[in-house]
Structures are given as structure tokens and as C-alpha cells.
Structure 1
């Protein structure tokens, strides 16, 4: 068996990757590992997105790490503070020297007879090859160098400035300008009140309404708990308070979805009063929970709408014109700047090609194993958070489990672990999805699949994951351990790709 350069490689030095690396260092102290980061800095999403007002859309007491208290008074925090938190974690735990910056993994090839991953990385000095026995992918779920742009007509006709939030120009001065923001998600509802502070006027154009909910920027009860019980205890109490509040809220989703919808829309109606047509602009056609609910910190977006500094526009865009946007109803929105907050391009493998014993791993073919591994792909764990709760809650659980898995393999002399799926497992693929966000729906055919029975299902539910990952046995019979058995994909996991829409690249 070939000797690997490293025991483990962690891909990504963002919020997930740094947290995973800390678990690895503490719980598996004998492992040799490195972190590969495609950019020259730590931070991932919180380094990439630098548009005005960038902030979390989850409470930082649960989006922060379980092991590292969030000390900032703001629970809904600005991007710079989150980036500093990630950097501080890396420095405190001696992880920064282990990061190899500007190493983008372009190919990952696994050979079962050697239990070895060979990673080909693009670097400023050319391609480099790194080998490892185990791969931890914390590369996120979207492409960092591309953003989604719908096929609107007339892009080239517009004489003003077009900006995608993923590539916000450094130092861009929007003061005194009329701005049209296209979008209805978290990015749009963040940009609207922020840009309205100094813009001449802001129009937020949405095809259809999204659920929004005002929430305090600061968690008063949480901050009191952290004052009374300094350090980890106060943070943990605050964290559990928020986790239980989320659980109760999700139970309401299931128990009285119609009542919850009426309550959420009623809150918006009360906040806006008669100053804004909330029935048109804030009454979604789908149920709460089918897309992420956008947080409105301290009601900032409602304030600028009521004050007339921003205007909601709901309808379909016909085309861009020389001076703005023409809507299908014939109305025209004049603008100096158009911001296309139109979404992400999902990318489940971090942009790398992957093979197992010379068989191509197509992202749209594998089954998802318990929400952190792919069918028939050995010695690899991916880290991806929740769509209905804070991202890091799931990452913490998977990272802890991953370390237990590695330690179990070491104790028993195993060098390979794989969630084996056969044709029978693929025969019961669940193609239905309750999550209807555009960035997910338009590429759903290219994403790993859910089965209909355990272990090929996973729930977007923290307590289910605690039972499965934190308290569940590693050797529960669902994983196959060996010292290097060959891997043969069933026909259902071979070949086939596809895609839709238009993607734009950073220039």
C-alpha cells in the first residue's frame, strides 16, 4: 500500500472547514492533515461576499461553533465580524499554518487497492499533487466564481452599471443613485435597506413574494444569560434556547401551517400598515418552510419602505432598456444601477472532477447517506448545513461523528469505509422535494438523490441528526469497513449530466 502524504485533507477554509479542522485536531490528535483553500484568505462565504450590509441570516449563537462562544452582542451579525470569528478560531487552534492557500482541487481520484485519494490542485505555481487517505469536503454548495443570471433580454442595452452581489466592486459609490435590485431572497432584503440609506431611491423587483420576518438584531435574553453566566456556559444556554425555539417553530409548521402562514403575513401587515401594498408584495404562494424565511433585523426593510426611500415591485421583467427595466405590465423602472441578486450556482463537489477506481462520480447520480456521505464513494465525508436552521448546527454534528469514525477505523485496523448501495436502493429514489428555492429547483436533476428508507434519507432536523450522528453507533451495520475492497458502481450510479439556465463568471 502506498504511503499517503497526509492522513486527511480538509477542502475549504471557511466557517465549515475551520470548524471541522478544529474537531479533527482535538479529537484525532495523531492525524496528519492540511486544509486546502482556493482563495488567498480564510473565510469562505464571509470572505467572498462583500456587498453593502452583508450579514448572517441566522442567529450567530447557533451559527457559531458549539465549542467557541459568540461574544458579540449582535445575534444577526455583519459579515466582517463573522470573518473575524472564523480567523480567530483558526489562530487560537493553530490551524492557520496548516492552510495551503490558493490550492483549488480540480481532480480527486480514489484507488481502493491503496485506500488513497490523489488530489490535483491548481495553484499560482502550476498543478500540484497531494495524496491522502481520507477526504473531508467543506467546500460549500455553490460556485464561488460564478453567479446565476436569468436570461433577461437587453443586458447590453442598459447604459448604467450592472452588479451581481457575488462580485461587488470594491469602493463602488452608490450614493445619490437610483438603484433597481432584482431578487427577493436574503441578499435582496439586506441590500434594500442598506443601499436606501444614501441612494436617491431603491426599487426591489421580485417575480413573486417571499416570507420575511422581523427579528431583533440582538437577542436580549441571550445577552442576559451570557452576562450572568460568562464564557461557555452562558453561550451554551443561549444556544439551546434558540435550538428549542426553532424546534417548536418547526412543529408549528407541521401542525398548523395555514395558521402560521396567516400569522407571518399578519406580522408584515401590522409592520407596514396602509403605507405599502403588503397583500401584493408579501403574500407568498407557497407554504412557510419551502424556502428560507428571510430575516429583517429590527424591521429595517419595513422602515425604508414606509418612509418612501424604497419601493417594492412585484411582477415579471420583460427586458432591460437603455435607462432601466421594462416590466411585462408595461411599466418602466428608471435606474442608474441594476443589482442582480438573482441567486447562486449550486456545485456539490466544489468544482472538482471525482473518480473512484476509474469510475466517474457524477454529482447527480449518488444517493445521500445520512446527509454526509455519498453512495459507493469511500473515505469521503462532506459537510453541509441545514436549509431550515443555522448551517453550523449540522456541521458540528457531522465533524464530531467523522472523528469518531476515524478513531473506530484505527482501533479496528480498517483503512476503507464505504456506504454501499446497490440497484435495489436506487429503485426507491425519492424525487419529491419540499424545498422550492429557485437556486435548488433549477439544478435539482444535477444533485445527489434521496432514497425513501434509512440510511438513504436524512431529515432537515437537528434532533434527528443528534440521535443518528451524536448518539448513533458508527458500526450500526450501514457502513462497510475493509482494508481496501474494490468498488463497483451499480448501473444507476454511472454517467449522465445535465444543466439549465445561464451562469455568469467573475471577470
Structure 2
């Protein structure tokens, strides 16, 4: 679409970067609320779905309920509300096709850089289109790129890993048709990826061991919601879905508030539920006694208690220890114990990355996203006409993505109605702002990647996201210009 310089007649109103759940949702809101706007979606990969199209490791599934993780404009209709990746991938693709959004996606178009021109009052996007260099131009850009690196996992030093003669696999790059039947597998890690993998691997492996340095909280939940199934039989589908969705929204909100206000009581509650699930020969401490309080890191969900069921069947076990070294045939631990292994799975975390790694500039001056504050959880300090989608760490990602999309649509309407060509979040004295994490988790991958993601402040409108209810209210009715520098320019 043209070149990098000069005036452009082919400037789109909006470019959405990423065709995952955030990008598809943003497109729906845009074409529904601003039907006259021109837009396209640039997707670096070959399919719709983002994370759900990328990950293909065994057992990959949601760790949020699908009543709130699904789109509010297309209710989740499956019985299981904790669903596997294939079902979610199908749901996202069907949703996009239903509203013609799939026809707006340009696949294998990877954003390399984006530069805002104050003269042109527009973004110029350099794109790698399957090896071909292309430029796109837009008045507004929505970064729906997620928050982690597809190309590289979180780097972790495992002493002696080069000695191992078996297969070493990272879940992010799971080999297609990888055969692990009757093999001894050690999964290094204790997060949701490990907890998801193990029940699935145990179906064919001779034994699976989860080797963790420190434990996480695990909660067993039925994969089918009894309340949802009941109301779906006695009420119209639109009403039953809204009631079930509201139930999950409210209960999740109350549980998180409870954990924050009464951490010890929350610990005891989770411990009581976990002990009921464990095999008699597996102690709760140290294997399921985390060092942190509930919701300082994400809780791991086990649909129908599948993780614990696998343990009770003797197909899986948990070892809490540190690695001394990896040998040809296994792992030597600090306790003196040795774990034999044919396969080592390194479920050690994700590497954070914003904007898909693209270089963002204003008038050819590069911007470091990790040094910028996030305005209202939506836009980056000093970046004109650009929104970045960051969901919730303690609730369904889609909720935060939708709050962002609704806010952006309302802002775009305001800009259009008032003849404004640029909206720039400005912080007069950034050195006086106390910074905090935009993602409020103490997980290793978040702590290590903090410099890659924007900061939140301690004063409005730079505060971090709080709850879906308050963010939804702000998106629909709140002040949308506080802290914005608004420009009217003749283009």
C-alpha cells in the first residue's frame, strides 16, 4: 500500500495488529459501532486464533471459564466451560467468519516497525508480508499482539541439560506427531502449562513426574457448570447465558477480593480442597504449599480434578526439589535423588514481548515501551492514536480486551465528531509518578520481563486496571480525555 513517504490517499481509519481473540473482538466492536470506518487486520501467522492457533502441545486448554472468556456478542454454547484448545480455536474462527471479520485479515503480514508522522497525522507501518516489504498507513492503530514472544521461550539455565541423550521438548514448540508412548517423562515447571500437560501425557507415557522448584495453587473444578446447564433448560438461551456469565463474573470477583483481604483464610480453603484430592501417600507440604498468597500468581485450574486423578492412578507424581545437574539418562537433584527420564519437557515459562517485537517510533524517534506509562490501561504515554490491549491477570483476558475495544471505539467517535486528528496521552512530570506493574503478578516470567511491558502509575488516569466492572463503566461512561493532548491539524 504505497511507500513510506509523502501524502497517502490509501490511509485506513484503523489497523488492528493481531488476529487473536483481542483482534477479532476489536474488529467486531469497530465494525458494529463505527460501520463507516475502514480497517484491516495484520496477522503474522497463517491462521486466526493467536495463542489458540499457536500452541499445540497435548492437553492445551483454557484456565479461565469460557462463559467470560468467550465473546459477549457470541455466547459460548458448549457444555464444557473449561475447554481444550481445538474447541476454542474453532469458536474464534467461527465467530470471525459469522461477522465477516475473517475477510479483513491479511495473513503472514508481520509488523516490523510503526512510525507516527506528525506532518501526516498518520501511522506508517512497515510489514514483512511473507518475505515481501510492504507499507500500510492508518490514522489509528490497535496492538492486539498479546504479551509474549512466539519465537523464543523464557530462557532458563538448567545445569548439564546438554548431557541429556533423550528428547528435550519445550511446550511452545511441541513437535507434531511426537511419540512418547511408554516413556518416562519429567516436566520441569509448576505453572498452568505443566498442570495442563501432565494429565494428557500420562495417558500414553509410562510415568510423568512434575519437577518443581516451588509449588503453585491448584483448584479442581467440574468442567460442566451445573447452574449453567440448569438455567439453559428452563430459560431462553440469551437469558441463561447472561445469568451464567454474570454468575462467573461476580463469583470470580468476590473470590479474588476475598483472597486479597483474607489471604490466610484463602490459603486454608484451598488447602482443604487440595488435600481431599491428593493420594494418601502424597503430603500437601511441600508439594502444594506455595510461598506466596493466592492470586499473587495465577491459580491453576484442573477440570474435573484431572491432575489429581492422574496422581491417584499412579500415572503421575510431584517432586519438589532443585536440579544439581542433568545426566545422560535423567536428573540429579539437590536431595540426592535421581529422576530417570526418556523425555524432559521444559515448561519453564513465557518470555514477555509487546507489539510482537516491532519497533515503535514517533517522528522517527524510537520509543521504548517498557519505559512508558499506560494511560487508562489503554494507550501508551507519548504515543498518538495507538491502543495496546492488555487483559486481566486474575480474570478472563477477553474481558480486559473488550473493555479496551469499547473505550477505543468511544474515543474514535469523539475524535471524529470533534475534528481531532491526534490524541496523545501526556504526563507532565513522569519523574514524579510512582511506577507499579501493569500486570500485577509475582510470577517469574512477569518479574523477568517487566522491562518489556508498560508501567502503571499511582495516580489517575495512569492507574493499573482494577476490575472488569469499573473498567466497563469507564469505557462506556467515564472521562475519555483526561490526560490527553488533543490535536487538530490539516492533513
Q: Which TM-score tier does this pair reach, normalised by the shorter chain?
A: over 0.9
Structure 2 residue aligned with 1:34: 40
Residue 446 (structure 2) pairs with residue 425 (structure 1): no
TM-aligned CA deviation for residue 421 of structure 1? 1.3
Q: Counterparts of 1:434 and 1:128 in 2: how far apart (Å)? A: 37
**Per-residue Cα deviation, 1:258-309 (whole angstroms, up to 9, x for no partner):** 1111111121112215221221100001111110000011111111112211
Residue segments in structure 2 that go unaligned for 5+ positions in a row: 1-6
**Per-residue Cα deviation, 1:414-467 (whole angstroms, up to 9, x for no partner):** 111111112x23322224785200110012133211211001112331122123
Q: Counterparts of 1:286 and 1:198 in 2: how far apart (Å)? A: 34
TM-aligned CA deviation for residue 149 of structure 1? 3.3
Displaced runs of 4 or more, over 3 A = 1-4, 431-434
Structure 2 residue aligned with 1:481: 486
Which deviates the most, 73-82 or 245-254? Answer: 245-254
**Per-residue Cα deviation, 1:20-44 (whole angstroms, up to 9, x for no partner):** 1111111110111000000011111
Count of matched residue positions in the alignment of Structure 1 and Structure 2: 484
Which of 370, 375, 382 matches 2:376? Answer: 370
**Per-residue Cα deviation, 1:100-132 (whole angstroms, up to 9, x for no partner):** 000000100011221111101112241111111
Which deviates the most, 194-203 or 431-440? Answer: 431-440
Report if the CA contact (8 A) 1:211-1:282 is conserved. Answer: yes
Report if the CA contact (8 A) 1:367-1:426 is conserved. Answer: no
Report if the CA contact (8 A) 1:212-1:295 is conserved. Answer: yes
Residue segments in structure 1 that go unaligned for 5+ positions in a row: 486-507
Residue 393 (structure 2) pairs with residue 387 (structure 1): yes
Q: Counterparts of 2:340 and 2:466 in 1: how far apart (Å)? A: 42
**Aligned-partner SS, 1:468:** helix
Q: Counterparts of 1:478 and 1:222 in 2: how far apart (Å)? A: 42
Structure 2 residue aligned with 1:222: 228
Which of 23, 28, 51 matches 2:57? Answer: 51
| Pairing of 1:336-415 with structure 2 (within 5 A) | 336-415=342-421
**Aligned-partner SS, 1:459:** coil
Q: Counterparts of 2:454 and 2:431 in 1: how far apart (Å)? A: 11
Structure 1 residue aligned with 2:128: 122
TM-aligned CA deviation for residue 350 of structure 1? 1.4
Residue 74 (structure 2) pairs with residue 68 (structure 1): yes
**Per-residue Cα deviation, 1:142-192 (whole angstroms, up to 9, x for no partner):** 011111231112222111001100111111121111000011111100111
Q: Counterparts of 1:147 and 1:78 in 2: how far apart (Å)? A: 22
Residue 21 (structure 2) pairs with residue 15 (structure 1): yes
Structure 1 residue aligned with 2:94: 88
Structure 2 residue aligned with 1:254: 260
Structure 2 residue aligned with 1:454: 460
Report if the CA contact (8 A) 2:192-2:300 is conserved. Answer: yes
Report if the CA contact (8 A) 1:90-1:96 is conserved. Answer: yes
Structure 1 residue aligned with 2:309: 303
Structure 2 residue aligned with 1:502: none
Which of 308, 319, 326 matches 2:332? Answer: 326
Which of 109, 113, 135 matches 2:115? Answer: 109
Report if the CA contact (8 A) 1:346-1:443 is conserved. Answer: yes
TM-aligned CA deviation for residue 320 of structure 1? 1.6
**Aligned-partner SS, 1:350:** helix
Q: Counterparts of 1:426 and 1:306 in 2: how far apart (Å)? A: 55
Report if the CA contact (8 A) 2:40-2:106 is conserved. Answer: yes
Q: Counterparts of 1:232 and 1:484 in 2: how far apart (Å)? A: 45
TM-aligned CA deviation for residue 51 of structure 1? 0.7
Q: Counterparts of 1:247 and 1:301 in 2: how far apart (Å)? A: 25
Report if the CA contact (8 A) 2:393-2:440 is conserved. Answer: no
Which of 274, 278, 282 matches 2:288? Answer: 282
**Aligned-partner SS, 2:351:** strand
Report if the CA contact (8 A) 1:324-1:333 is conserved. Answer: yes
**Aligned-partner SS, 2:58:** coil
Report if the CA contact (8 A) 2:215-2:290 is conserved. Answer: yes
Q: Counterparts of 2:249 and 2:436 in 1: how far apart (Å)? A: 29
Report if the CA contact (8 A) 1:387-1:460 is conserved. Answer: no
Residue 155 (structure 2) pairs with residue 146 (structure 1): no
> What is the TM-score when the length of structure 2 is the normalising length?
0.96
Aligned-residue CA RMSD in angstroms?
1.6
Report if the CA contact (8 A) 2:410-2:476 is conserved. Answer: no
Q: Counterparts of 2:379 and 2:184 in 1: how far apart (Å)? A: 47
Structure 1 residue aligned with 2:273: 267
Report if the CA contact (8 A) 1:142-1:347 is conserved. Answer: yes
Q: Counterparts of 2:141 and 2:56 in 1: how far apart (Å)? A: 30
Report if the CA contact (8 A) 1:64-1:392 is conserved. Answer: yes
> What is the TM-score when the length of structure 1 is the normalising length?
0.93
